[in-house]
A and B are shown apart, each in its own frame.
Chain A
Amino acid sequence: MTDTSPALELRRVNKRFGPVHANKDISLSVDRGTIHGIIGENGAGKSTLMSIVYGFYEADSGEILVNGEACHIDNPQSSIAAGIGMVHQHFMLVDTFTVLENIVLGVEGGFRLTEGLATARHELERLEEEYALDVDVDAIVGELPVGLRQRVEILKALYRGAEILILDEPTGVLTPQEADHLFRILDTLREQGKTVILITHKLREIMAITDNVSVMRRGEMVAHVKTQDTNREQLAELMVGRSVLLQVEKQKAQPRETLVKVQNLSYLDGDGVPRLKNIDLELKAGEILGIAGVSGNGQSELLEVLGGIVPPSSGSIQYKGEELVKSKNFTARTLRKIGLGHVPEDRHRSGLILSFEANECTILGYQDSPEYNRGLRLDQSAMVKTCEQHIEKFDVRPPDPHLKASGFSGGNQQKLVLAREMEQNPDVLLVGQPTRGVDIGAIEFIHNQLIKMRDAGKAILVVSVEIDEVMSIADRIAVMFDGEIVGELDAEDATETKLGLMMAGIRETQKAEEAAV
């Protein structure tokens, strides 16, 4: 072993899941003391690759070298022993334990817990100081904000002696400010000689922090470049294999009459926790209203209430001047009939029945429409025909109306749901996370469809946690935090900083006051 050998090297790694070749001949070399980005669309094989490195899966063939030495990794223990640590997209922490207890979990050392904890506390204080990772070790994890929980995960990896730290989509749950803070931490880690591998599909992060980037596309490694020698457009092109427009081209909106007017809307969940607090919104024909916010701040509940799935606790929703709340029309079934379409946030949980064929999913929510019924009988040929039309118009692949919904990729599933709701030609369309887990090519298509609908004079509400998405397609942006709308602004005036502050719950007025002081 020499000092010039890379911290981590992969040679011709292959992994198949049945007929799916998830990683094809992947070679990768990560230099010590660098931040190495791995970028690719969802389903490109990034996570599979890192799962191999971390020992969740074993590669079918290929070699893994750590510090120049071949290393057999077949479970996370051997990976930890080799000095590799991983911070998962979804944290693996026990919410009811303290930070300290979480960190020693699995490496308690010795029979008596107190001794282990004392040593751990000492070691942790050193680590926190060395890497400027400020966390109260006695805090209960469940009470910490997400950004801090992530730090606990990083500490956990470092405590186990990680020299190579893998972060899987670390910023998915963070506000821009928290993400910036994370990047500063990663910077410190790099300065201290640690190696960081950052998996992401966000180009901004790659450009902001990494030294080198590797691009994956459909299971293959398509490029290794130095970050300073590349740019967002080039990386995006490498990811999808062709040039894409990052900015949606659209005319200025021509908002007309108000179609949906929400006043003072509140919603308590089953446990009596307020999820929506006095929401006021107006949705006008011919415009897209974007709802931004970190996920879990009431956006899902807002969609559910507006979609008629759960009744609000109080407040009013008017549709074309008619009050919906407490009226007999206020059910998911009848709202569709009177012209409110709804693309749910989670296509797996709500939008599709994965075990159903595509054509059966085509009628979900519209199963009693005369279009699909002949007397007692469901008209299967009509279902298939409509599904075929959707498939053609939205370019769903594979074009098979009899394939089970689970057989389509995420983007194509999303297209099936969008097609179903859009082709009913509703006057108002509620869309949750229109492009979550969808690849760039499909994102562009979906955005264009939404704009087209807007231009046809429909009112569209888009809820998204992707700040770029909201900024690029919405005409007006409302930001939600903790069940409230903290502010609303025109898309033209929106900047990432402004939205980021609002997403963290800081109101415009507060800021103004602070500025005045």
Chain B
Amino acid sequence: MAEKKPKFGTPPKIPGWVNYALVPLMNLLAALLISGVVIIIVGDNPIEALQVLVYGAFGYPEAIGYTLYYTTNFIFTGLAVAIAFHCGLFNIGAEGQAAIGGVGVALVCLYFDWMPTWLVIPLAMLAAAIFGAAWAYIPGYLQAKRGSHIVITTIMFNFIAASVMTYLLVEVLIDPNGQSPESRSFIESTWLPFFHSVIDMPRTPLNLSFIYALVLSGGFYFLIWHTRWGYEIRVVGQNETAAGYAGISPAKNIILAMMISGALAGFVGVNEIQGVQHRLILDFTGGYGFVGIAVALMGRNHPIGIFLAALLFGALYQGGSELAFEMKNINKEMVIVIQGLIILFSGALEHMFRPKIEAAYRRIAFPKPAEAR
């Protein structure tokens, strides 16, 4: 039937906490349940495994430091994927944009290290943003002006970025005194300060980019929901025809959203290269860009959700390595299986429980359906 369903009253509103907390929680529980079954099959105790995981992630100060360090990367890539989502784009290319962002950081830290710290640090961050944005600009432009599908182009750009990185580190930026494909170490004045050098805590990779990630989350919220630019991005993402009608250029906003997305992804380089490695290395992106998709999906493209999802994945990364270390039958691959299950349930199967949970909520909250008047 072409005619739309009749509307006499409006369906009762489902409150935010159901959508943003209960549903993801149920997805998470389902994933853990299946993971538990897998752990039983390989011959370990799932309850014990969960204890190890949680302790490994949050049990002692050092663990927390590591967890938050991973979380930082996931916040950057989660926000990157989310802003593209708001514009109706599926940016699979955060991985490549992060890598190129890292190149920007490295170039500043290698060649501008004569500058004072207070100047070189923001300059390196700016370079991360510009390089990431430039890398994302090309697929954005191709989508906006040529109609090449963003999913295809961003995937291809991940491969290109990987090749560019290899080329640069083998041929151009390689440390002439070293054997491995990596640049020389940056001098200390270009480093982003560690947390343990600012406050009293054990040595961990956690650095000030975590704070920066939180600030950006706030900025993201403000941009998307409280400025006309965010408004226009959302209009384009929801309804391109309406955007045309309202005089909002879809092409302009697609390119803009992709560039912001690329810039956000590029900040992974700030955390990894400027904050932790202090040299440019291969594969420092370590799949953060791809997990960012799951983070954005699970976080419902909202900074608070993204923070929680990033924290979850940070905990999984950190607790997972502890798990592989502690439990005899669980190895690194097993941990990836568990992560995969969580991504599967919270991303791909996101809508499996939602209708049922919403229906159950309606039954409980509104025992008698509103009569049509």
Q: Is the CB of A355 within 8 A of B12?
A: no
* Residues in B whose Cβ lies below 8 Å from that of A168: 1, 3
Contact of A307 among B11, B245, B369 (CB under 8 A): B245
B10 in contact (CB, < 8 A): yes
A336 and B362 alpha carbons, distance in the complex (Å): 43
Known: A19-B370, A24-B372. A350 touches B7 (CB 8 A): no
Q: Which of B29-37, B162-170, B225-233 contacts A (4 or more CB under 8 A)?
A: B225-233
B interface: dominant SS: loop
B59 in contact (CB, < 8 A): no
B244 in contact (CB, < 8 A): yes
Known: A21-B371, A47-B1, A56-B1. A367 touches B246 (CB 8 A): yes
Q: Is the CB of B228 within 8 A of A356?
A: no
A334 in contact (CB, < 8 A): yes
Q: Which of A103-111, A185-193, A373-381 contacts B (4 or more CB under 8 A)?
A: A373-381
* Residues in B whose Cβ lies below 8 Å from that of A137: none
Category for how many chain A residues contact B: 35 or more
> B240-282, CB under 8 A of A: which get 1 and which 0?
0110111110000000000000000000000000000000000
Q: Is the CB of A355 within 8 A of B238?
A: yes
* Residues in A whose Cβ lies below 8 Å from that of B245: 307, 309, 332, 342, 344, 350-351, 364-365
* Residues in A whose Cβ lies below 8 Å from that of B10: 398, 403, 407-408
Q: Closest residue of chain A to B368, judged by CB?
A: A19
A169 and B2 alpha carbons, distance in the complex (Å): 11
* Residues in A whose Cβ lies below 8 Å from that of B370: 19
The A/B interface has a contact count, at CB < 8 Å, of: 131
Most chain B beta-carbon contacts within 10 A, residue among A16, A334, A365, A408: A365
Contact of B227 among A349, A354, A376 (CB under 8 A): A376
* Residues in B whose Cβ lies below 8 Å from that of A22: 5-6, 8, 372
B213 in contact (CB, < 8 A): no
Contact of A219 among B8, B12, B242, B246 (CB under 8 A): B8
Category for how many chain B residues contact A: 35 or more
B60 in contact (CB, < 8 A): no
Known: A19-B366, A43-B8. A378 touches B227 (CB 8 A): yes
* Residues in A whose Cβ lies below 8 Å from that of B232: 367
Known: A18-B11, A47-B1, A219-B372. A332 touches B244 (CB 8 A): yes
B146 in contact (CB, < 8 A): no
Contact of B228 among A20, A21, A378, A398 (CB under 8 A): A378
A319 and B244 alpha carbons, distance in the complex (Å): 21
Q: Is the CB of B242 within 8 A of A350?
A: yes
Q: Is the CB of A350 within 8 A of B241?
A: yes
A363 in contact (CB, < 8 A): yes
Q: Closest residue of chain B to A409, judged by CB?
A: B7
Q: Is the CB of B238 within 8 A of A19?
A: no
* Residues in B whose Cβ lies below 8 Å from that of A351: 242, 245
B128 in contact (CB, < 8 A): no
Known: A89-B3, A218-B372, A378-B227. A349 touches B247 (CB 8 A): no
Most chain B beta-carbon contacts within 10 A, residue among A56, A336, A349, A380: A349
Q: Is the CB of B3 within 8 A of A219?
A: no
A433 and B242 alpha carbons, distance in the complex (Å): 16
Q: Is the CB of B5 within 8 A of A218?
A: no
* Residues in A whose Cβ lies below 8 Å from that of B247: 308, 331-336, 365
A interface: dominant SS: loop
B239 in contact (CB, < 8 A): yes
A393 in contact (CB, < 8 A): no
B328 in contact (CB, < 8 A): no
B235 in contact (CB, < 8 A): yes
Query: In the complex, what's the smallest C-beta–C-beta distance from A384 to chain B, in angstroms?
Result: 13
Q: Is the CB of A88 within 8 A of B227?
A: no
B9 in contact (CB, < 8 A): yes
Q: Is the CB of B7 within 8 A of A43?
A: yes
A360 in contact (CB, < 8 A): yes
Q: Is the CB of A377 within 8 A of B227?
A: yes
* Residues in B whose Cβ lies below 8 Å from that of A409: 7-8
Q: Is the CB of B246 within 8 A of A364?
A: yes
A56 and B1 alpha carbons, distance in the complex (Å): 8
A336 and B241 alpha carbons, distance in the complex (Å): 17
A330 and B10 alpha carbons, distance in the complex (Å): 39
A344 and B8 alpha carbons, distance in the complex (Å): 24
* Residues in A whose Cβ lies below 8 Å from that of B9: 19-20
* Residues in B whose Cβ lies below 8 Å from that of A45: 6
* Residues in A whose Cβ lies below 8 Å from that of B7: 20, 43, 409-410
Additional A-B contacts beyond A88-B2, A351-B245, A368-B228 (15; CB < 8 A): A19-B11, A19-B366, A20-B7, A20-B8, A21-B8, A24-B372, A47-B1, A169-B3, A332-B247, A333-B246, A349-B239, A350-B245, A367-B228, A367-B248, A377-B226
12 contacts between A and B (CB under 8 A): A17-B6, A22-B8, A43-B8, A51-B1, A219-B8, A332-B245, A350-B239, A351-B242, A353-B238, A354-B239, A367-B248, A378-B231
Q: Which 8 A-B pairs have the closest CB atoms?
A: A333-B247, A332-B247, A21-B372, A365-B246, A19-B369, A350-B245, A407-B10, A43-B6
Q: Give residues in B with beta carbon < 8 Å to A.
A: 1-12, 222, 226-228, 231-232, 234-235, 238-239, 241-242, 244-248, 362, 366, 369-373
